[in-house]
């Protein structure tokens, strides 16, 4: 029997809300996190042209961000671990009538081969993907393997002050800066309702390699 889920509605500026099933049990991937809402609503501001762009979401969880991108005309692949595929498929199915681009779910384990996801997407979306120290290196490897010179990565995360969180966050951005340039998107460019001073959106792209 399917686990009892509960539906989270995500309002859209134009047209009916997204209906996102969540799971009452099963770990971090099974609920719609605030950072996912903030990033999804930021996409709706039109700051990044998504129509007909190739978009990949990492650690998609419920698929909220990727499905929102698909309603804005993007061709989206939402990715997460095997155990989250069923939930992703349910949410794609529930919202497919709102999609104007395309959306599909695939398994992607950070740090493993990404050949199946080439050529590099135009955008990579990540919401709240930095909370396990042991996943930092694999995540960074995946980002390096997936990004081309023109790929933009939008990383949205909630700043957490508990326990090891600040340390993990600092380490992540330190490692990231070896290969990537980062630029924080100011709060006044976030959706006026779905924003919070402790939720940040960072625009990331590969450092330009300088020729000999």
Q: Can you tell me the distance from the alpha carbon of 74 to that of 76, in angstroms, rounded to the nearest whole number? A: 6
**Structural tokens at position 31:** 């609920």
**Domain assignment present for 148:** yes
78 C-beta neighbours (distance < 10 Å), count: 31
Query: What's the pLDDT score for residue 107?
Result: 97
Q: Can you tell me the distance from the alpha carbon of 149 to that of 54, in angstroms, rounded to the nearest whole number? A: 14
Name 212's Cβ contacts closer than 8 Å, sequence gap at least 6: none
DSSP labels for 122-137? SEEEEES----GGGHH
Name 194's Cβ contacts closer than 8 Å, sequence gap at least 6: 37, 38, 40, 41, 42
Instruction: Tell which residue, 168, 171, 154, 160, has the closest CA to residue 45.
Output: 154
CATH of the domain at 49: 3.40.50.150
Name 140's Cβ contacts closer than 8 Å, sequence gap at least 6: 172, 175, 176, 179
**Domain assignment present for 99:** yes
Query: What's the pLDDT score for residue 161?
Result: 84
Q: Contacts by 160-168 with C-beta closer than 8 Å and gap 24+?
A: 160/131, 164/133, 165/131, 168/130, 168/131, 168/132, 168/133, 168/136
Tell me the three state secondary structure of residue 34: helix
**Domain assignment present for 51:** yes
Instruction: Tell which residue, 133, 115, 154, has the closest CA to residue 35.
Output: 154
**Structural tokens at position 200:** 């940040």
CA dihedral 122, 170, 62, 106 (to 10 degrees): 50
> Which CA distances in Å does 2 have to 22, 24, 87, 212?
12, 11, 10, 58
Q: Which domain holds residue 177?
A: 5-206
**Domain assignment present for 87:** yes
Query: What's the pLDDT score for residue 1?
Result: 36
**Domain assignment present for 211:** no
Name 183's Cβ contacts closer than 8 Å, sequence gap at least 6: 202, 203, 204
**Domain assignment present for 80:** yes
Task: Give the count of domains, the chain.
Answer: 1
Query: In a structure prediction context, what are the per-residue pLDDT tens digits for the chain, which is 212 residues long?
Result: 344 568 899 999 989 999 999 886 666 567 788 999 999 999 999 999 999 999 999 999 999 999 999 999 999 999 999 999 999 999 999 999 999 999 999 999 999 999 999 999 999 999 988 877 888 999 999 999 999 999 999 999 999 888 888 898 999 999 999 999 999 999 999 999 999 999 999 999 999 877 66
**Domain assignment present for 202:** yes
**Domain assignment present for 159:** yes
pTM of the model as a whole: 0.93
């Amino acid at each position: 029997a399917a686990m009892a889920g509960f539906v989270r509605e995500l309002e859209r500026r134009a047209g009916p809300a997204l209906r996102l099933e969540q799971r009452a049990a099963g770990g971090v991937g099974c609920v719609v996190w605030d950072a996912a809402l903030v990033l999804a609503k930021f996409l709706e501001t039109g700051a990044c042209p998504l129509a007909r762009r190739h978009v990949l979401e990492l650690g998609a969880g419920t698929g909220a961000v990727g499905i929102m991108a698909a309603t804005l005309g993007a061709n989206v692949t939402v990715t997460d671990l095997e155990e989250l595929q069923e939930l992703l498929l349910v949410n794609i199915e529930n919202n497919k009538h709102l999609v104007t681009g395309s959306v599909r779910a695939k398994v992607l384990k950070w740090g493993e081969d990404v050949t199946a996801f080439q050529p590099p997407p135009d955008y990579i979306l990540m919401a709240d993907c930095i909370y396990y120290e042991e996943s930092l290196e694999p995540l960074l490897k995946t980002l390096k393997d997936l990004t081309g010179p023109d790929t933009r990565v939008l990383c949205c995360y909630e700043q957490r002050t508990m326990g090891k969180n600040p340390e993990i966050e600092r380490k992540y951005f330190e490692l990231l800066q070896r290969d990537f340039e980062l630029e924080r998107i100011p709060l006044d460019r976030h959706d006026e309702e779905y924003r919070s001073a402790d939720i940040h959106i960072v625009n990331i792209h590969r450092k330009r390699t300088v020729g000999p």
